[in-house]
Amino acid sequence: MLTAGQIQEFDRDGYLNIGEALNEEELAELTRELDRVLDKGPHGFAESEPQPVLFRDLAGGGGDYQTKKPVWQIVNLWEASKSFERLMYHPVLVRAIHQLTGFGDLQVWHDQVQYKPPLQGGATGWHQDAPLWPSIEPMTPVSAWLPFDDAEESNGCMWMVPGSHKWGCQIEYLMTQGHLQKLPEFTRLEGFTPPAEAELRDLVPVARPVKRGEVHFHHSLTWHGSPQNFSERPRRAIAIHYMTSEARYTGRAHPMQQFIEVQTGEPMLKAGPHFPVVCRGGEPICPPTAIR
Ligand SMILES: O=C(O)CCC(=O)C(=O)O
């Protein structure tokens, strides 16, 4: 149960770390599963096997560490792993998202692993999530982010700009900042003036270290990104992107669009089995699969 202070903090800043969410047993199982899938690689799945929706190097180098700094992205790991399917229903995550959004009915838009390998891990440029998800509106989802290694400045933890979720859609500006990749330069966002009426108006990026086992939440309009990982440690993490019952299908494109089973304008709540409902009336739903 979040405190009123935590909910206020999330509303003010657009992000919140609530501390420990997963125990050692859960962490061990999830880490084993993540490593199993990472070891398979993007081409290691048989056609008949359950597999994620996407498995790719965001840097486009296909693991060519000499020329490009890889960030391995896996979308909908939950479709390839029962352990990660159960994670989406985790009562600590679901109850927190219920409190942070104020909605009783919640479902998953998709999940997303980002793995930055040791010494060579690439950057995830500054962005807002919601404008990159044009298939759904309004731009109000909230994500739970969970690392499987302590995420610190040295291995590419996320950075966020407090209050930026109240500055509207600024993706065009953020896309001009893609040159910011390395840790020392990552904070140098320049050439933007926050709206005069905003609650927080200082453009001050802050590092958001998150320990293995903790969960960190962010609003889908919060400015965020993560610099390169030049440390000797991996940085493995998953984000679960949750939608509320106000989410509607817009008809616009996204890799998840192919799975949406409703018509333009209809609620995503009926979008089909690729978008599991995890909370009804404020109560977390039991995962459909038994613990292995
Ligand atoms: O894992 C990261 O560094 C970035 C993740 C991200 O952009 C997100 O969860 O929205």
CATH number of the domain that residue 158 is part of: 2.60.120.620
Indicate whether residue 143 lines ligand 1 (CB < 6 A): yes
Atom of ligand 1 lying closest to residue 145 CA = 9
The pLDDT value given to residue 114: 98
**Whether the predicted pLDDT of 285 surpasses 60:** yes
Q: How many residues does the chain have?
A: 292
The pLDDT value given to residue 13: 98
Q: Are strands 214-219 and 248-249 parallel, antiparallel or unpaired?
A: unpaired
Question: How many whole angstroms from 291 Cα to the centroid of ligand 1?
Answer: 27
**Whether the predicted pLDDT of 289 surpasses 90:** no
**Whether the predicted pLDDT of 292 surpasses 50:** no
The pLDDT value given to residue 65: 74
Atom of ligand 1 lying closest to residue 143 CA = 9
Nearest to 221 by CA among 195, 253, 185: 195
* Model confidence pTM above 0.95: yes
The pLDDT value given to residue 68: 83
Indicate whether residue 239 lines ligand 1 (CB < 6 A): yes
The string of pLDDT tens digits covering residues 237-261 is 999 999 999 999 999 999 999 999 9
What is the number of structural domains in the chain? Answer: 1
Indicate whether residue 149 lines ligand 1 (CB < 6 A): no
The string of DSSP codes covering 191-242 is: S----TT-S------EEE-B-TTEEEEEETTS-EEE--B-SSS-EEEEEEEE
Indicate whether residue 145 lines ligand 1 (CB < 6 A): yes
The pLDDT value given to residue 66: 74
**Whether the predicted pLDDT of 24 surpasses 80:** yes
The pLDDT value given to residue 63: 73
φ, ψ dihedrals at 146, nearest 5°: -130, 120
- Of 116, 139, 149, 158, best ligand 1 pocket probe by most atoms within 8 Å of the beta carbon: 158
Confirm if 161 and 187 have CB atoms less than 8 A apart. no
Domain hosting 133: range is: 25-40+50-79+112-191+203-246
Do the domain assignments include residue 85?
A: no
The string of pLDDT tens digits covering residues 42-101 is 999 999 999 999 999 999 887 777 778 999 999 999 999 999 999 999 999 999 999 999
Question: What proportion of the chain, given as a percentage, has pLDDT over 70?
Answer: 99
Atom of ligand 1 lying closest to residue 226 CA = 3
CB contact set of 271 (below 8 Å; sequence gap of 6+) = 107, 249, 259, 260, 261, 262
Task: Please give the average per-residue pLDDT across 173-188, as a whole number.
Answer: 96
Task: Please give the average per-residue pLDDT across 22-44, as a whole number.
Answer: 97
**Whether the predicted pLDDT of 19 surpasses 80:** yes
Indicate whether residue 124 lines ligand 1 (CB < 6 A): yes
Confidence of residue 291 (pLDDT cuts 50, 70, 90): very low
Question: How many whole angstroms from 201 Cα to the centroid of ligand 1?
Answer: 23
**Whether the predicted pLDDT of 290 surpasses 70:** no
Kindly provide the residue ranges of all beta strands, DSSP E only, lying in the chain, ordered along the sequence.
Answer: 15-20, 54-57, 72-75, 106-116, 124-127, 136-137, 142-147, 158-160, 206-208, 214-219, 224-226, 235-244, 248-249, 277-280, 283-284
Do the domain assignments include residue 284?
A: no
Question: How many whole angstroms from 59 Cα to the centroid of ligand 1?
Answer: 14
pLDDT mean across residues, the chain: 96
Do the domain assignments include residue 223?
A: yes
Do the domain assignments include residue 59?
A: yes
Do the domain assignments include residue 238?
A: yes
Nearest to 108 by CA among 286, 256, 290, 278: 278
Question: How many whole angstroms from 158 Cα to the centroid of ligand 1?
Answer: 7
- Take residue 268 and report the two structure tokens written for it: 């995503």
Do the domain assignments include residue 184?
A: yes
Task: Please give the average per-residue pLDDT across 17-31, as a whole number.
Answer: 98
The string of pLDDT tens digits covering residues 116-143 is 999 999 999 999 999 999 999 999 999 9
Task: Please give the average per-residue pLDDT across 150-159, as a whole number.
Answer: 98
Do the domain assignments include residue 159?
A: yes
Nearest protein CA to atom 9 of ligand 1, as residue: 239
Indicate whether residue 223 lines ligand 1 (CB < 6 A): no
Nearest protein CA to atom 8 of ligand 1, as residue: 239
The pLDDT value given to residue 135: 98
